[in-house]
Structure 1
Amino acid sequence: MRQRRLLLVPMLLYLASSVSPEQQQQRPAEEIEIFRNLFSIQPPHCSKTPIVIAQASTSSNAAASRSGMQMQFYLGLHTTVCFRLEEGVAVSTDHKDHLAKEALAQKHSSWLHTVRLDRLEHHHPISQRYQFGIPEVKADCICECNAASDSCSAETHQYTQCPEDQNRDFLTSCYRTFIPNQTPVGCPAGSSAKLCCEVKFRPYRNQTYTAVKVEQPSTFATFVYTAYDYSNGRWIEKDRSTIRAQLDGGTQERYLDSLRRIALTVSAGGRASHQLETGMYFANSNPGGEMEELRKEPLNEISDNNFDRLGWYRMDEQGKFHVNNGIVKMEEIHKAKVKNCHDQTYRSIIDAKHYLPGNFNLSKPLEMLYPWIQSARIYDGSQRQVIVTHAEGTNLHVTLQVNGEIDGHRLVFFHNSSRISDFTGTILVDSRSNRYFNVTVYGASGKINGAVKYSTERNSAEIFSFTSYVHDLNASNRSMIIPMPAVVEPGPRMICMYADEQREEQAVCRIVQYFETPLEIDIERNTWHEMIGNCPSCNQININGFSRFLNPMSWVNGVASLGDFVMMATDVLVYVCVLVVVYVILTKIVIPICKCWICPMYFMSRSNKSKTKKPKQRTKVVDDDDIGAVV
């Protein structure tokens, strides 16, 4: 057997290379036949089902009425009913014809017929669809103290997009913001600082998501009919069909077998026990176009523009990402404040959710949040439908009718015995307050009953009972999720499980622990990001800026209190002292040195003149004395 299985890959490769295009339609059937030959066929586990014998109403048109018996029962999801068709023999005058019909009846009566409720689906129509991303955000700002500067103004940066840049890739979108009236830290006195920013967005890891709005669904049930014959020590599949029935309308009737003798009629007693709510959902879009599982998160509809929800960073028809109505809304969501305008340091934040850098957590797929969902996906063919496949559901009312010309035929139903060896599990309450018993059964098959006790004692009172199914003919290990009511309170307790044919005294009992997960909290908190701008042309001294400080009236601008007046007076005093020091240095040191260096003969001639003037004065004094003496 192992060698036959090892030959599977070469055989499939040979089929893929040798089959001509005209034979491609026949290739799937041939491959299935190969698998059937390699692995033995085995019927599914036949469930124990109560059967009600019914009688069909008589049609007013006798020619159109159909003879035959009816069997009614309820069929649950993933449950299989099994029966044999035991037929009588019609009365015939021809002995050969009588023998032929008897042989045919005996041949078909040996078949084991199975009907399985394989799938229960909700098909939700999609009324809205768009694509979006999770953006990486980067804000580059510059601070300008000069009100007349052209590098930062409302004209260039308010309600506008960034200019085209060849270095910017196709996926990046850029918007400008203008934030005036900043604290003039690092600016000259009397200045008014302002910030001009360029906010750039790029999809995180180039990942794209598809948002859809789902509406009220239609319900479909899929039945699988298979007929087996046991011959030469092995099971052989003799007939097979798949029937999909719509359950929202009236009663649906289909033929199961290829001979059109066994008719199945199905109706739902009401809606399915669970249904996906109408609203917005999203899924990851893979590069090949395949959609992943649906997820639930606060999401913008196609006409909404809420930055606290997903879907504000969208992709247009050309494949370019943009902020929805970003030219107008960017002034509202981008906030920034200056730390030091001269040093070009500032803080920036985006008043939104679901962006990077920051904390954002996408929700888990629906099949991980809701135990009743087996899968929930966007149908890849047209992306106009969402198909939710149920993991559990209500029972359907099924009627089987055997039609034919042979009298005395009847259906004989069979079921396999159930068993269980052991189990382990825990009682869990998840973050959405879903309470369930997560159990793994060992060596189990068929219908398994369970009982939850009030305490950890086996003899304590029973507070809840349940039934689960293992749909395997052979004993196997299976994990299941069984919903629990609120009466199962915190704390360990005893749970007993036993097969349907066993007495409760033969049950396997185990003490099961209880675990509870706290409710979800909003862990997304925006934080300020400190950054440094790059603007060599900002805060340059020019004639207009310098002349403004020569006006004494500008000194008293902004003086609104005694403290401001003291600061202004101190500044004036400091400025006066600085001017006096500068004057002394210029007149006593700088100017003489410059004169000496430019014209040294000027000082030499000046010193000679001073020497010649002094003796003349002395001579004049002596002459005056002499004259006095003479007199």
Structure 2
Amino acid sequence: MDESGKQIQETSTTVADLTLKETLCLNFTDGIRTQIHTIEYVRMEQQFPISASYKFGIPLITTTCICDCAGAEEYCKIDDYKYKNCTKSYVCYRTYHAHQSSSGCLMSSKSEVCCEVAIEPYGGRTYTAVKLTQPDTVIILRHRIYELVSNRWTEAASEEFEAVVNKGSAKMETIDKRQMEIKTTAGRVIREMLSGMYYFSNDNRVLMMGVRLNEPTESDIHKLGWLRKNGNSWLIRNGIIKITDSQHITIENCKGQRYLTRYNAEYFITYDERIIDLDLGYPVDEQNWIERAEILTDDRAIRIIHAEGTVIHVSVSSGTRPIVVRHASHLLTFNGTIRMDEQSNRFLNLTILGGKGTLIGYVHRSEDKSSTDWSFSIEIGTATRTKFTATIGGIPPGIISDRFVCLQPAGDANAEQCKWLK
């Protein structure tokens, strides 16, 4: 209460940096009861909206040709075969090739070849290609309240919050009677999946990457996804031209009907080939920084759960000043170097002396710390280590010169130490 008799509402603010899976513990005691509040950094995920999609199959091509020797009975009529459709399969084209080898024929005049090309999805399997746009970065926190009942701690409440941190500071109101308010901010995510084209099989719904994939408006027969599903039918955009132009015939013996057919196309198979011989990319979650990738049931978004996360800054405001209960982290000193391997991957090699617990690191461009390139964390353990070495991967490719690197024990920004590393 101030001099005029008005009630003054005091607010206490507690700030802390948390790494993935780390928990902040706050002890609130007001003389009547004691509560422990925990704020757990459960996970970090990125949600990619799907802006466009299409279904496709892996083309299985079956080719049947007739080589027509000059002067014999005419089988190949240009009006019947050149740029014509047929009915053998889901997609079927007729092709005509003049001026072919007369090998095996009685006359030396050039022969003609006419073919029927049947195309169907291999095994009847369908795939879905998705175009992903820029993601939202979401931090998931769990707030738990424990109360001391009959000398035993009992969980009184538990709730999860989702904070979209790429749009600025996220504010969360809790259900606690203390009117606690939690604000969260996070640094830039260093390792993240790029927006663009991905696909999955409709059988196992495993998100795949690492392959050239047609955009929704493309139909390039040198990229995956050129045999499209359209309702209950299949189509190749402008396929009658593309397949005819891509087909190449080599005649070994025209009269004996021995020939070799090739196609200037990719991502298809013939009856004498296996689908496992095609390079169809690899699962997104094979990358070690991804815990798992989820395709939402409505196919409107992709969720990427990070295995590494990024350091988040948590600010807790409340009407009562709590005691912060956390495991102690220490740092005596450190040194290190920035190195690059033969694949141009950059690593931060650190030697830490007198370290314990969790250390938070920041890579700055200058000593005024006005521009931060990267942040990371190091877990040393509960025992103090006289000497501890760590190799930190995933350094952004933009770091090509000396950097001002700072380390601090988690929860103790005043103990931060900084050095220029080369």
Would you say same fold, with TM above 0.5? yes
1:197 aligns with 2:121: no
CA distance in 1, matches of 2:265, 2:45: 37
The residue type equivalent to 1:119 in the other structure is R
CA offset at residue 130 of structure 1?
Answer: 0.5
Partner of 1:305: 219
The residue type equivalent to 1:311 in the other structure is G
What runs of 5+ residues in structure 1 fail to find an aligned partner?
1-61, 88-101, 404-408, 419-428, 438-444, 450-465, 473-479, 487-498, 501-631
1:352 aligns with 2:295: no
Partner of 1:321: 234
CA distance in 1, matches of 2:357, 2:81: 72
User: Could you say if the C-alpha distance between residues 412 and 139 of structure 1 is closer, same or farther in structure 2, counting changes exceeding 3 Å?
Assistant: same
User: Could you say if the C-alpha distance between residues 342 and 398 of structure 1 is closer, same or farther in structure 2, counting changes exceeding 3 Å?
Assistant: same
1:379 aligns with 2:296: yes
User: Could you say if the C-alpha distance between residues 333 and 436 of structure 1 is closer, same or farther in structure 2, counting changes exceeding 3 Å?
Assistant: farther
SS of match in other structure, 2:259 = strand
SS of match in other structure, 1:210 = strand
Normalized against structure 1, the TM-score is what?
Answer: 0.50
Instruction: Map Cα deviations across residues 578-603 of structure 1 (whole Å, 9 max, x no partner).
Output: xxxxxxxxxxxxxxxxxxxxxxxxxx
1:587-598 matches, within 5 Å, as none
User: Could you say if the C-alpha distance between residues 481 and 372 of structure 1 is closer, same or farther in structure 2, counting changes exceeding 3 Å?
Assistant: farther
Contact 2:28/2:321 (8 A) holds in 1: yes
Worse-superposed segment, 222-231 or 125-134: 222-231
Q: Bigger relative contact order, structure 1 or 2, given CA contacts below 8 A and separation 6+?
A: 2
1:367 aligns with 2:281: no
Instruction: Map Cα deviations across residues 149-184 of structure 1 (whole Å, 9 max, x no partner).
Output: 55312211111221x35xx5xxx4222211111110
CA offset at residue 330 of structure 1?
Answer: 0.9
1:131 aligns with 2:55: yes
CA distance in 1, matches of 2:107, 2:117: 30
CA offset at residue 147 of structure 1?
Answer: 6.4
User: Could you say if the C-alpha distance between residues 151 and 189 of structure 1 is closer, same or farther in structure 2, counting changes exceeding 3 Å?
Assistant: closer
Which structure: greater strand fraction? Answer: 2
CA distance in 1, matches of 2:115, 2:342: 41
SS of match in other structure, 2:209 = coil
Normalized against structure 2, the TM-score is what?
Answer: 0.73
1:84-123 matches, within 5 Å, as 84-87=27-30, 105-106=32-33, 109=34, 111-123=35-47
Instruction: Map Cα deviations across residues 606-628 of structure 1 (whole Å, 9 max, x no partner).
Output: xxxxxxxxxxxxxxxxxxxxxxx
Instruction: Map Cα deviations across residues 100-145 of structure 1 (whole Å, 9 max, x no partner).
Output: xx5xx32xx1x32211122222222222211112122221111111
Worse-superposed segment, 195-204 or 177-186: 195-204
Two-structure CA RMSD over aligned residues (Å): 3.5
User: Could you say if the C-alpha distance between residues 430 and 161 of structure 1 is closer, same or farther in structure 2, counting changes exceeding 3 Å?
Assistant: farther
SS of match in other structure, 2:269 = coil
CA offset at residue 345 of structure 1?
Answer: 0.5
1:296 maps to which of 198, 210, 217? 210
Partner of 2:393: 483
The residue type equivalent to 1:412 in the other structure is I
CA offset at residue 434 of structure 1?
Answer: 5.9
Instruction: Map Cα deviations across residues 13-47 of structure 1 (whole Å, 9 max, x no partner).
Output: xxxxxxxxxxxxxxxxxxxxxxxxxxxxxxxxxxx
Partner of 2:399: none
Contact 1:293/1:375 (8 A) holds in 2: no
SS of match in other structure, 1:248 = helix
2:65 maps to which of 117, 122, 141? 141
1:143-158 matches, within 5 Å, as 143-146=67-70, 151-158=75-82
What runs of 5+ residues in structure 2 fail to find an aligned partner?
1-5, 330-339, 349-355, 361-375, 383-389, 397-408, 411-422
Instruction: Map Cα deviations across residues 199-232 of structure 1 (whole Å, 9 max, x no partner).
Output: 1222223222111111112222211111234657
Contact 1:273/1:393 (8 A) holds in 2: no
CA distance in 1, matches of 2:315, 2:261: 68
1:239 maps to which of 143, 151, 157? 157
Instruction: Map Cα deviations across residues 420-445 of structure 1 (whole Å, 9 max, x no partner).
Output: xxxxxxxxx999876889xxxxxxx9
SS of match in other structure, 2:323 = strand
SS of match in other structure, 1:298 = coil
1:211-610 matches, within 5 Å, as 211-229=129-147, 236-259=154-177, 261-269=179-187, 271-286=188-203, 291-318=205-232, 320-357=233-270, 358=273, 359-369=277-287, 371-381=288-298, 383-403=299-319, 409-416=320-327, 447=358, 468-469=378-379, 483=393
Contact 1:294/1:377 (8 A) holds in 2: no
Contact 2:211/2:279 (8 A) holds in 1: no
Instruction: Map Cα deviations across residues 370-426 of structure 1 (whole Å, 9 max, x no partner).
Output: x32223333222x222222222232222110113xxxxx3211222479xxxxxxxx
The residue type equivalent to 2:123 in the other structure is R
The residue type equivalent to 1:349 in the other structure is R
Instruction: Map Cα deviations across residues 311-345 of structure 1 (whole Å, 9 max, x no partner).
Output: 11211122x23333211111122211211111111
- Percent of paired sites with the same residue: 28
User: Could you say if the C-alpha distance between residues 214 and 155 of structure 1 is closer, same or farther in structure 2, counting changes exceeding 3 Å?
Assistant: same
Partner of 1:160: 84
Contact 2:311/2:377 (8 A) holds in 1: no
CA distance in 1, matches of 2:359, 2:168: 33
2:26 maps to which of 64, 83, 107? 83
The residue type equivalent to 2:15 in the other structure is Q
The residue type equivalent to 2:26 in the other structure is F
CA distance in 1, matches of 2:391, 2:269: 36
CA distance in 1, matches of 2:122, 2:150: 62
Which structure: greater helix fraction? Answer: 1
Contact 2:178/2:318 (8 A) holds in 1: no
User: Could you say if the C-alpha distance between residues 415 and 402 of structure 1 is closer, same or farther in structure 2, counting changes exceeding 3 Å?
Assistant: same
The residue type equivalent to 2:230 in the other structure is D
CA distance in 1, matches of 2:342, 2:235: 34
The residue type equivalent to 1:347 in the other structure is L
User: Could you say if the C-alpha distance between residues 431 and 208 of structure 1 is closer, same or farther in structure 2, counting changes exceeding 3 Å?
Assistant: farther
CA distance in 2, matches of 1:481, 1:368: 21
User: Could you say if the C-alpha distance between residues 432 and 241 of structure 1 is closer, same or farther in structure 2, counting changes exceeding 3 Å?
Assistant: farther
CA offset at residue 248 of structure 1?
Answer: 2.7
User: Could you say if the C-alpha distance between residues 74 and 153 of structure 1 is closer, same or farther in structure 2, counting changes exceeding 3 Å?
Assistant: same
1:162-181 matches, within 5 Å, as 162=86, 164-165=87-88, 172-181=90-99
Contact 2:19/2:377 (8 A) holds in 1: no
SS of match in other structure, 1:410 = coil
